[in-house]
């Protein structure tokens, strides 16, 4: 019987200049630590491979790719990456976020987001996703647990499966949040992230996932990325998302924006700018673009 590997103890050295404050979480391949940076004289977050996954070449490649990507991105709605360490262990060093994930907020049963707040959340996600797309990558794992709400600002975290558009393997993402084409082993384009925004807003509005609830028991135990579900058991391949207004009364424009983002066919979904424009209308946000000066 295999033992669960121990985590690093508080006070131990994770790498030169980084001391462990506490262990924060453990996933299938990674450990996440709160660390003290002597160079920055502040706390940071470090993602490292689990001790029992050090020889996992695929996990190492994903972590290194995420670190390189975060180091070249600077956006108010994307977590900031500070450093990528390759020795003595691969580690991605990121800023510490003081808020809570959208998933935790929904699980707490806090007061439901108002329609304008849902629209604002969508606009911030469109801003972040549009930025990623202009830098040639798709996020492909949008879900409430990958969004941190901090002082009214949403921040995307976890770019471990982000990749350029094009053909992709089936099942890369989180089983009940991935777009149908992700589950189907199809060509991945920006429309896959539009779906991701839609499925997050659907859950933010209703307090329940659009897929993966009690009616989708087939995949109830598969919650990690790169799940082993067979394609015919993904609920998003078996049924459409129900209209969001079947679960909550929302302004028609907001409900329409969410529902169109969740259309099964990628070509029928709005683009990120089109979705942002629809959300801006229902949120009462005026476009910051100024008219061109007269010649």
List active site positions.
141
Answer yes or no: are the C-beta atoms of 144 and 202 closer than 8 Å. no
Polymer length in residues for the chain: 295
Distance CA(6)–CA(41), nearest Å, equals: 27
Distance CA(179)–CA(195), nearest Å, equals: 6
Answer yes or no: are the C-beta atoms of 243 and 259 closer than 8 Å. yes
Distance CA(183)–CA(286), nearest Å, equals: 37
Question: Which helix (H) or strand (E) covers residue 124, if one does?
Answer: helix 115-134
Answer yes or no: are the C-beta atoms of 46 and 61 closer than 8 Å. no
For residue 122, how far is the Cα from the chain centroid? 13
Strand runs labelled E in the chain: 13-15, 18-26, 30-37, 42-49, 81-85, 91-95, 100-101, 147-150, 153-156, 166-167, 187-188
Answer yes or no: are the C-beta atoms of 241 and 269 closer than 8 Å. no
Contacts of residue 220, defined as CB under 8 A and 6 or more positions apart, other chains included, come to: 212
Residues forming beta bridges with residue 43, ordered by sequence position: 36
Distance CA(83)–CA(67), nearest Å, equals: 7
Q: What are the backbone angles phi and psi of residue 128, rounded to the nearest 5°?
A: -65, -45
């Amino acid at each position: 019987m295999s033992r669960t590997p121990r985590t690093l103890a508080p006070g131990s050295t994770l790498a030169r200049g980084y001391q462990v404050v506490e262990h924060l979480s453990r996933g299938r391949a990674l450990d996440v630590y709160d660390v003290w940076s002597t160079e920055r004289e502040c706390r940071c977050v470090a993602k490292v491979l689990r001790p029992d996954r050090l020889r996992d070449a695929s996990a190492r490649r994903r972590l290194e790719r995420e670190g390189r990507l975060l180091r070249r991105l600077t956006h108010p709605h994307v977590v900031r990456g500070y450093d990528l360490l390759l020795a003595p262990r691969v580690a991605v060093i990121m800023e510490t976020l003081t808020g809570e994930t959208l998933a935790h907020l929904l699980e707490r049963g806090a007061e439901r987001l108002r329609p304008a707040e849902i629209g604002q959340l969508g606009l911030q996600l469109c801003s972040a996703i549009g930025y990623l797309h202009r830098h040639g990558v798709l996020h492909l794992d949008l879900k409430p647990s990958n969004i941190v709400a901090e002082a009214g600002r949403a921040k995307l975290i976890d770019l471990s499966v982000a990749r350029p558009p094009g053909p992709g393997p089936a099942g890369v993402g989180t089983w009940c949040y991935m777009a149908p084409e992700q589950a189907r082993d199809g060509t991945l384009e920006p429309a896959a992230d539009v779906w991701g925004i839609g499925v997050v807003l659907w859950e933010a509005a209703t307090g329940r996932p659009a897929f993966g609830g009690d009616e989708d028991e087939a995949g109830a135990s598969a919650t990690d990325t790169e799940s082993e579900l067979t394609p015919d058991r993904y609920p998003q391949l078996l049924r459409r998302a129900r209209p969001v207004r079947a679960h909550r009364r929302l302004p028609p424009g907001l409900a329409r924006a969410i529902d169109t983002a969740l259309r099964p066919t990628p070509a029928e979904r709005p683009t990120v700018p089109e979705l942002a424009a629809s959300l801006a209308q229902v949120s009462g946000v005026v476009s910051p673009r100024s008219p061109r000066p007269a010649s």
